[in-house]
Structure 1
């Protein structure tokens, strides 16, 4: 850490909303954050308690739920506190911590969705070998690798940011310390940081997405070889929730990093970031619980609600 940055404080401009709307948006975002935390915690609890959910897919889902809770918790509580107290400052250490954990859990979501796509690929394309392929040791290795590479990715960018200089009274036009916004606020030359984001950072995003698309293209080819309503329906029930989450996740990322480049990009970038960090983690539990019979059964079981499909 550069000595001149240790005592620095940054000013977060926050969300582009009017002062009279602060109370309404505070209540809205607080409700969404609590829904995110409670919904994803419920998923983790159900997977832990119901033996029917002790499978590779739900093992990966439990880690995705934890990552979603953490991703929202990196930024939303600070945003809510700033909205309530009207104090927009954040210390340098807090800002760098936000940069690190935002990248870390964002990358972790990315890798976990890729691992889940591979799990679905094996289930659809090689069902007879699923139990031997997706053994417990491999699942642990895939998840551990996701955590490790996410840590390396976040550490790389955070250490490079830590070498930059920041002027006194630095203003960050965002509601959290987004990496791109922090780089724009630096007094140093950030060309190497930006080049790394465009190359290495893009690869970390594009390669997993290519793996996911490749898996689904292969799965579609297998299912459509002998098309029937039963085969298509079974494939959708197996992959539908994951495919929905993938579209939601990468759609909001595209909104943050691509579609916000024209017009009033600052406000568009903030709105897309809200979608990515607040809305998407909140919707994931709804998607998996509403579209998944096993999750519905576990939910009824834990609340002791009789289900005519499972009980006589």
Structure 2
């Protein structure tokens, strides 16, 4: 009890001197504001290092502090809400501690000097909260291309290729007609630039295609080329076939078995009979 009274007396004296002088005990003479008085024996302070640190390195910034009679080191865990590395220190409630906290920054071990509490348990503890991986900014997402051809068979959605940018297509078309939405997002470990356009929509139609009449090619008739008749010269004519003369009949009649002398007598009789008739007609006047 006596020790507590001595500590309080010293603290009051230091505060009075500081109030009169108007400066604190920090190097550089920074203005000092007396923190609220408390009957706690200890001061528990939570310090935070750089977000990229994974070890208790300096400088460290004061996040929160409380005055307490409890020497436990978990009373400020709820204040460590951001990613990074934290250091919990338990100090004696003294003027040196107040000077340390007034500076709000600890530049290194003993800079400034700290009045650590003498406790059987750990006087300092580190609470680390893992930060997400540092994200890398991508390029601007490019605009997708929508092809709405006549009918529905020729329609298409062409997605651009941008490094570390992924596109998602939401297709609400029915029988090729309706709205399509395309949304861009950064790949794992990357982030899109702020303010860029990331969503596009397009409405597809089934407008019929125009019918183009077939073009008939004219039929071209080729002229008939008549070959001229070439007359062959006379000397080139084939020689006429030779005339075959009939064989001369023999003067002697063939023997038929008749008597030639008898035939001659008959012929003479016929001739004489004819002459007699001619003379008779003349006499009787038939021949006039």
- On whether the aligned pair clears a TM of 0.5, the verdict is no
What TM-score do you get using the length of structure 1 for normalisation?
0.22
What TM-score do you get using the length of structure 2 for normalisation?
0.23
Higher helix share: 1
Q: Which has the greater radius of gyration?
A: 2
